């Protein structure tokens, strides 16, 4: 009898252990993978390039003249971009971006009807702490006094000597054509839109209805 009871007890214990093993997860099982956080960055696109030779409209920001004989070769001229430069719907170079040019030739007006002359070349623009090379030239030449000189020489030689042309003059705000002298690559940046808090009106309080007593 004791052996039968002992055998029954062992069977019960074995079944209980098997049931516990099935209900308890194994510690040897592979751990669940943690959720992955994927960072998405906007990479530069091969088409996002302003090519060398592209026109850049400019305007001068100061007056240039040979009238006072103060203009010198090598003198820098302040300019700015006159209109937005866009590519693929993105403003790459905004209007108002500072640019600079350099005086390359100066000739003051003189005797015998000689007119004044200013020659300059576009150098670069400044965008996001970077100098971007530009090319292009502009100039102005005063009106010569040739007709007056010929008439004066025919009549009185000394009068022709004293006849002068006009000074060269470039007004502030004058339009100048510049051109990119190098490729300019750019990358678009995603703009984060902050959520706007919207005030939700409170629901009107419900009025407690008072039952009317039956007459």
CB 64 within 8 A of CB 33: no
Kindly report the backbone phi and psi dihedral angles of residue 150, in degrees, each rounded to the nearest multiple of 5, phi listed first.
-60, -45
173-198 mean pLDDT? 82
Asked whether residue 100 is domain-assigned, the answer is yes
Residue 157: inside a domain, yes or no?
yes
Residue 106 lies in a domain: yes
For the chain, the average pLDDT equals 73
pLDDT at 33: 47
pLDDT tens-digit readout, 1-59: 444 444 444 444 555 444 444 444 444 444 544 444 333 334 445 689 999 999 999 99
φ, ψ (nearest 5 deg) of residue 104: -110, -20
Whether residue 43 is contained in a domain is answered as no
In a domain, residue 24? The reply is no
Could you tell me the CA-to-CA distances from 188 to 25, 38, 96, 133 in Å, in that order? 50, 20, 20, 22
Q: If pLDDT is split at 50, 70 and 90, which confidence band does 95 have?
A: very high
94: pLDDT strictly greater than 80: yes
Does residue 126 fall inside a structural domain? yes
- Residue 8 belongs to a domain: no
pTM: 0.59
Average pLDDT over residues 201-210: 54
């Amino acid at each position: 009898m004791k052996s039968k009871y002992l055998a029954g007890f062992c069977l019960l214990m074995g079944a209980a252990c098997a049931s516990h093993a099935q209900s308890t997860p194994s510690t040897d099982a592979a751990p669940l993978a943690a959720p992955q956080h994927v960072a998405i960055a906007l990479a530069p696109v091969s088409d996002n390039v302003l090519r060398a030779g592209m026109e850049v409209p400019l305007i001068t920001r100061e007056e240039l003249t040979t009238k006072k004989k103060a203009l010198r070769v090598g003198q820098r001229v302040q300019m700015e971009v006159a209109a937005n430069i866009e590519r693929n719907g993105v403003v790459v170079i905004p209007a108002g971006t500072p640019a600079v040019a350099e005086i390359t030739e100066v000739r003051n007006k003189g005797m015998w009807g000689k007119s004044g002359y200013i020659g300059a070349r576009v150098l670069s623009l400044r965008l996001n702490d970077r100098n971007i090379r530009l090319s292009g030239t502009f100039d102005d030449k005063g009106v010569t006094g040739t007709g007056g000189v010929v008439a004066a020489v025919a009549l009185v030689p000394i009068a022709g000597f004293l006849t002068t042309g006009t000074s060269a003059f470039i007004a502030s705000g004058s339009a100048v054509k510049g051109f990119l002298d190098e490729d300019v690559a750019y990358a678009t940046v995603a703009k984060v839109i902050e959520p706007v808090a919207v005030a939700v009106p409170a629901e009107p309080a419900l009025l407690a209805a008072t039952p009317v007593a039956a007459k």
